[in-house]
Structure 1
Amino acid sequence: MNKKIDIFENLANDIIGSDLPEREKTEILKSIANAKEQKLNIMITGATGCGKSSTINALFDYEVAKVGVGVDPETMDISKYELDNMVLWDSPGLGDGKEADNRHSKNIINKLLERDENGNALIDLVLVILDGSTKDLGTSYELINQVIIPNLGDDRQGRILVAINQCDVAMKGKYWDSLNNKPEPKLETFLNEKVDSVRKRIKEGTGVDIQPIYYSAGYKEADEKQNPYNLSKLLYFIIQHTPKEKRLVYVNNISTKQEMWKDNDDLKDYSTEIKKTFVESVKDTVIKGAEIGSEIGSILGSAGKVIGGVVGGVIGGAVGIVKSLFSKW
C-alpha cells in the first residue's frame, strides 16, 4: 500500500504557519476544507480478463481480488473499494451469458443514474477497459454503445474513458520489446490502428467522439515481473476526465512506486502535464477567492513553494508533494 499522503493537511498546516493576514488564511482554509470534502467516484468496467484488477493495483497500489478467480463470474455484482475520499466501483462487463448480462447491465445503469446528496450524478467517470489481446470486442461495444453512453446524461463525452489494456500481448506478443518495455514499430502501428478502429465504432454507434488510449498494467508473477507501459498516460487521461474540483483527490491515492510510471510513449511528457494539472487544481480550488498580494514569498512550505507570490491568481510554482511523487519520472 502507499505511504499515506494528505495534501490537504499539508496545505492547511502551511497556510496556518504562514505570515498571511488572518482574513486571507480563513478564506484559503475554507477552500482547502471544501476540497478535502469532495468525494470522487469512478466506475471501472470491462469484460472478464481485461485486467481491471491489475489496473487498479498499478494505479493505486491497492490489492483487490482478481476477477473470476475462484468465483463464478455470473454471481458477481458491483464491488466497492474506498480509498480515502475516492471510491472505485468495480463492475462486471458483459459476456457471461444472457441472464447475467441483463443483470449486469441493469446494475450498471442503476449506478450511472444514481445521484449524490447534491442531486449530481454519483459516478464522475466511467473507465471502460478493453482486452488488447483479442480481436473480438463485440460485447465491449455492446457495453459501451448500448449500456454506458446512453445513460451518461448530457456530458457523455466527458464522463467516459476507453482504455485498451494488455497492449504487450497484442499480435500474440511477437513485437513487444521486453528489454525496453515498449512496442516495436510494427506493434505500435497495429495499436494505433486499433485505437482508431475503436473510436470509429463508438462514433458510429453513439455519435460520441472519444479518444481511446492503449497501455499495459504490467504484472508480477513468482520471479517474473513486467512494469506497466503508458500508465502515466492513462493517469493523465483519467485526470483530464475528472471534474476540476476533485482532481486533487488523486494525490492522496496514486501509487508512489516510481517504476510504475516511467515507461510511456514519447507523444507527451505526461509527468510534467500531470504536475501542471495538480498545480492548476491548487490554484482553482484552494487559492480562489482569496485576495493575496504578489509578494508573499513561500506560503506553502513542504506542500509547495510559490515563486514570486500570487499575481492575478496565478501560482508561480509547483506543489511540492506532487513534485516529489513525479520527480524521477
Structure 2
Amino acid sequence: MTKENTIYEEMENDIYNANLEETEKNKLLKNLFQLKEKRINIMITGATGCGKSSTINALFNSEVAKVGVGVDPETMEIVKYELGNLILWDSPGLGDGKEADNRHAKNIIKKLSEVDSDGKALIDLVLVILDGSSRDLGTSYELINNVIIPNLGEEKDKRIIVAINQADVAMKGRYWDYEKNEPQQKLVDFLEQKVVSVKNRIYEGTGVDVEPIYYSAGFKEEGEMQTNPYNLSKLLWMIIKATPKEKRLVYVDNINKDEEMWKKNDELEDYTKEIHNSFVETIKDCAAEGADIGEEIGSIFGTAGEKVGKVVGTIAGGIIGVGKAILGRWF
C-alpha cells in the first residue's frame, strides 16, 4: 500500500510545481521548512478515571494510548506520546492519596516549567479533563487552581482548556439518547449548569476566565459495547484554536481517521468549518509570509488543500465530500 504524503510533502510538491519565480519559490520553501520544524506539546491531565487515555485515542488514534481498565490507573507517571511533531504528555491523575498526589503535582509543575530551545515554555497547552459523572470535583479544582494555572506564566487563559468528559453518564445514564448518541434536553440543561459552575469556581479561585465544554470520549472496555464520542469536533476545534497559528498544521496528519468518532456534536457552531479555516489560515499567513504571490496562493497549494479537505471531510463524519467540494474557495 502506498504511503500517503504528509501535509508538508504535499505543500513542498505544490511549491516545486508552481509557476513562480525562483526567488518566490525559495521564500515559500524556507517558510515551509520553518513550519515543518514546529512542534506542539500538549499536557493532558485530570483526576483518575476522568478518561484521559480515551480522549487521546478518540482524537488522534484508536491505539495511541492504552485505556486503563480496573481500579488501578494505567499511567503512573507522566507518559510521552510522540506522533510526529505532535507531542502528548499524559500526566497521572490526582486522587491516588496525599503522598502520590504531591508527587504528581510536583512532576506536573516541573514539566510546566521546562522551556524549549528558544527559551519559551515547552508545554503549549494544558487540557484538563473533568469527570462529568462525579459530584465531587474538589480534587480537580485543586489541580486547576493550585497546580496548573499558577504555573502557566503569562496569558494563562489562552494556555488551558477545561473539558467535562463522560457527559453521557453525567446523570447516571439518564436522559441520554443512546440510539441517537446525544443528550436529551434535561441532560443538556444539567450539563450547561455544570459548565457554568466549573467556570465560576475556577474564576473565583484564580481570576482566570475559562470556557469549559462538555463532551464524551466514548469508551471500549473488555466485554462492553463501544460507544462513540459526542462533541469531539468541538473539543478538537478548541484545541486548534488555542494552538499558535504557526503550529496548527501539526494536527492534519494525526487526526483520527475513523469517521464514526466525529459524527455527533451539539451543532451550535460549524466546528468543521472553523477547523478548516484554522488550517488554511496557517498556510495562507505562515507558508506565504514574505512571498509576493497575493491571491495566487489558493491555486498554488492545490494538493495541500485537498489534503486539508480530506481531513476536514473525515471530521465532518463523511457527510461532506473531500477536495474542492469541501474547500470551495480557499480564501
State the TM-score, normalizing by the size of structure 1. 0.90
| 2:62 is equivalent to residue 65 of structure 1 | no
| 2:124 is equivalent to residue 124 of structure 1 | yes
**Contact 1:46-1:129 within 8 A present in 2 as well:** yes
SS at match of 1:172: coil
What is the CA–CA distance in structure 1 between the aligned matches of 2:55 and 2:171, rounded to whole Å?
21
- Matched residue, 2:282: 281
What is the CA–CA distance in structure 2 between the aligned matches of 1:180 and 1:160, rounded to whole Å?
31
SS at match of 2:278: helix
**Contact 2:85-2:250 within 8 A present in 1 as well:** yes
**Contact 1:302-1:320 within 8 A present in 2 as well:** no
**Contact 2:109-2:151 within 8 A present in 1 as well:** yes
What letter is aligned with 1:280?
A: E
- Matched residue, 1:197: 197
What is the CA–CA distance in structure 2 between the aligned matches of 1:57 and 1:156, rounded to whole Å?
26
Q: Deviations over 1:278-314 (max 9, x none)?
A: 1111112111110015457732232227xxxxxxxxx
**Kindly tell me: are residues 257 and 103 of structure 1, through their superposed partners in 2, closer, same or farther at Cα, counting changes over 3 Å?**
same
What is the CA–CA distance in structure 2 between the aligned matches of 1:214 and 1:253, rounded to whole Å?
23
- Matched residue, 2:220: 220
- Matched residue, 1:6: 6
**Contact 1:303-1:321 within 8 A present in 2 as well:** no
Structure 1: tracts of 5 or more residues without a match: 306-317
Q: Deviations over 1:145-193 (max 9, x none)?
A: 0000000001110000000000000111110011111000000000000
- Matched residue, 1:236: 237
**Kindly tell me: are residues 70 and 124 of structure 1, through their superposed partners in 2, closer, same or farther at Cα, counting changes over 3 Å?**
same
Q: How many residue pairs get matched?
A: 314
**Contact 1:5-1:252 within 8 A present in 2 as well:** no
**Kindly tell me: are residues 72 and 234 of structure 1, through their superposed partners in 2, closer, same or farther at Cα, counting changes over 3 Å?**
closer
How far residue 257 of structure 1 moved from its aligned partner, in angstroms, is 1.2
| 2:289 is equivalent to residue 302 of structure 1 | no
Q: Deviations over 1:20-55 (max 9, x none)?
A: 111111111111111011011000001111000110
**Kindly tell me: are residues 320 and 15 of structure 1, through their superposed partners in 2, closer, same or farther at Cα, counting changes over 3 Å?**
farther
What is the CA–CA distance in structure 2 between the aligned matches of 1:93 and 1:225, rounded to whole Å?
24
SS at match of 1:81: strand
- Matched residue, 1:54: 54
Greater alpha carbon shift after TM alignment, 79-88 vs 319-328: 319-328
- Matched residue, 2:41: 41
How far residue 76 of structure 1 moved from its aligned partner, in angstroms, is 1.5
Q: Deviations over 1:110-169 (max 9, x none)?
A: 000000111000000000000000101000000000000000001110000000000000
SS at match of 1:200: helix
Name whichever structure is richer in strand by fraction.
1
**Contact 1:44-1:89 within 8 A present in 2 as well:** yes
**Kindly tell me: are residues 323 and 216 of structure 1, through their superposed partners in 2, closer, same or farther at Cα, counting changes over 3 Å?**
closer
What is the CA–CA distance in structure 2 between the aligned matches of 1:153 and 1:171, rounded to whole Å?
36
- Matched residue, 1:18: 18
How far residue 220 of structure 1 moved from its aligned partner, in angstroms, is 3.0
SS at match of 1:263: coil
- Matched residue, 1:311: none
| 2:253 is equivalent to residue 252 of structure 1 | yes
Q: Deviations over 1:49-76 (max 9, x none)?
A: 1000110000001421224658567x82
State the TM-score, normalizing by the size of structure 2. 0.90
4+ residue runs over 6 A deviation? none
Over the matched positions of the two proteins, sequence identity in percent amounts to: 62
SS at match of 2:300: coil
Q: Deviations over 1:72-102 (max 9, x none)?
A: 67x8211111001111000012111111011
What letter is aligned with 2:26?
A: T
- Matched residue, 1:156: 156
- Matched residue, 1:137: 137
**Kindly tell me: are residues 28 and 297 of structure 1, through their superposed partners in 2, closer, same or farther at Cα, counting changes over 3 Å?**
same
**Contact 1:20-1:296 within 8 A present in 2 as well:** no
SS at match of 1:171: coil
Alignment RMSD, CA only? 2.0
SS at match of 1:66: coil
- Matched residue, 1:78: 78
What is the CA–CA distance in structure 2 between the aligned matches of 1:133 and 1:26, rounded to whole Å?
54
- Matched residue, 2:100: 100
How far residue 197 of structure 1 moved from its aligned partner, in angstroms, is 0.2
**Contact 2:288-2:297 within 8 A present in 1 as well:** no
| 2:268 is equivalent to residue 261 of structure 1 | no
**Contact 1:5-1:251 within 8 A present in 2 as well:** no
**Contact 2:77-2:104 within 8 A present in 1 as well:** yes
